[in-house]
Structure 1
Amino acid sequence: MNVDLPATPQAFRGVWQRTLYAEPAKEPYQQADTTTQVYWIQGKHWHADLRLPTDSPDFAGITGLDDCNRRQLEWLAGLTAFAGITQIDSELGVCTWHRYQDLCPSLERDVGLLRWIDGNTLEERHPHDQYVEHWQQLSSDAAEEVIQTDQQGQLRWLQIGDHAIAITPRPAANVSNLFSTLSTANDDTLRWRASLCFDYLQRSQDRWQVVLSTQPWRKGQQVRR
């Protein structure tokens, strides 16, 4: 996939962990979330992001999508995980995340206003103050970046230093199924939607370990690269 957009400014590159999501963007907040595990890896052009809330069903004994019941499938297919190209207007602080792969897509554009709170904490605010997010930087913006894409130009591996997100694509199917509601989709459609897998990995020595995954039974698996 050709990337024609300007490179992401160096200061925004790296690995980020979300520490706050709140609505609306200004206090007093009507709701706030500090427990969902969220990681965003931002490279020169590519980004990858996955978010795992704490209200997970029990996946004990589950080894694959075929083992999942209806409640588990709806939860998996409704998770937030996406990857694509980032566009930042550094003068205005406007960031657009162009989502080329999206586990649970919507028709709304992903746009946020960015500003620094301190040297390694970034605030993302909805343009109309619907929400605010705080992001803590976990890695140096100078850490090595490694990218792998497939023959279609879609992202499969984005690595910054000892952190990476690996993406396993869905098999080809009717894309209109992406926009059906979870409650009306049949089980086969939910399995297909949830088959787009995002793994967040960390490296220790020469081994990569899955720390979080949109397919929870993969957590703890080791991967050699």
Structure 2
Amino acid sequence: MTNPSDSDAASLWRDDPVPQSWQGLWRRLALERADGTDDTTARVLWLQTAHLYVDLRQPAGRPDFTGVTGFADLTPEMRRYLASQGGFAGTLRWRGDDAHWQRRIDFSPPAGPPDEGTLVRDRRMMTEHGIHHAYVEHWWDDAPGAPLAVVLDAPRHIVVRAGDAFLSAEERRPVPPPPGTLVASVEAGADPAALLDCEISLGRIADGRWLILHSTLPWREGCTLSNPAATR
């Protein structure tokens, strides 16, 4: 018979460093949904350190943002695409093989239960099975052996790196949109800056420059992230 106190302890989420096998720069290869559909075309990167993480999700079919320098230049099609993106950052808690993503920063807060899944690693592959939703995500270790670091840990800005790659999440909106409302609010014509000014970016570090390659704000691509280590 299980001791009740042991059972209670096993059910608690842990805040100590997550398993080493979960840490790294992960690229999603595929998403399988409960209805039988899948997604193998979205760009999804997740960089996990011992505690903090940043996740960027961009669907295929992005419009051409050439010449766009800010929110005032966006067409309705561009606004809809930006609202369809995802990304979040915060702390990963765990118990056994289960993970709970606490979202301090969230580009598009979802409605519904917490973000929790079961992670199983096999060599460079890791499979994530949803706990509250019936989905499966297949992840590939994109930078095996790369040293990991937390570069910036602030209430509204998190930066993590794996070798010469970095992911940055910065919340600039006064408040994030209510859960599950971002797309509808953008389509209704609400102020895009108030809804979408949450920058989640992936980039590379070379010659001391933190060059942004992909971002939820396309006009930031090709720009340099101010050295976050200097702002600590």
TM-score, normalised relative to structure 2: 0.81
Higher alpha-carbon deviation: 178-187 or 206-215: 178-187
Q: Contact conserved, 1:146 with 1:160, CA < 8 A, in 2?
A: no
Distance in 2, Cα, partners of 1:188 & 1:23 = 31
**Structure 1 gaps, min length 5:** none
RMSD: 2.3
After alignment, is 71-80 or 106-115 more displaced?
71-80
Mapped to 2, the partners of 1:34 and 1:129 lie a distance apart of 19
Answering whether residue 51 of structure 2 is matched by residue 45 of structure 1, we say: yes
2:127 to 123, 126, 135: 123
1:118-160 C-alpha deviation (Å, 9 max, x unpaired): 211100011266211111112235614133133xx34331122
CA distance in 1, matches of 2:70, 2:88: 21
Q: Deviations over 1:37-73 (max 9, x none)?
A: 1100101111110011112122121111121122212
2:198 is equivalent to residue 196 of structure 1? yes
Give me the whole-angstrom Cα distance separating, in 2, the residues matched to 1:214 and 1:182: 14
Distance (whole Å) between structure 2 residues aligned to residue 129 and residue 188 of structure 1: 30
State the partner residue of 2:89: 83
Measure how far apart 1:74 and its partner are.
Answer: 2.5
The answer on whether the counterparts of 1:83 and 1:99 sit within 8 Å (CA) in structure 2 is yes
Distance in 2, Cα, partners of 1:73 & 1:95: 32
- Residue 193 of structure 1, CA deviation: 1.6
Maintained 8 Å contact 1:73/1:187: no
Provide structure 2 residue ranges, at least 5 long, that are not aligned to the other structure: 1-13, 228-232
**Distance in 1 between residues matched to 2:87 and 2:167, nearest whole Å:** 10
Would the alpha carbon gap of residues 183 and 164 (structure 1) be closer, same or farther in structure 2, given more than 3 Å must change? same
- 2:181 paired residue number: 180
The question of whether the paired residues in 2 share the 8 Å contact of 1:74 and 1:183 is answered with: no
Q: Once the two structures are aligned, what percentage of the paired residues are identical?
A: 26
Contact 1:23–1:132 (Cα < 8 Å) also in 2 = yes
User: What is the match of residue 8 of structure 2?
Assistant: none
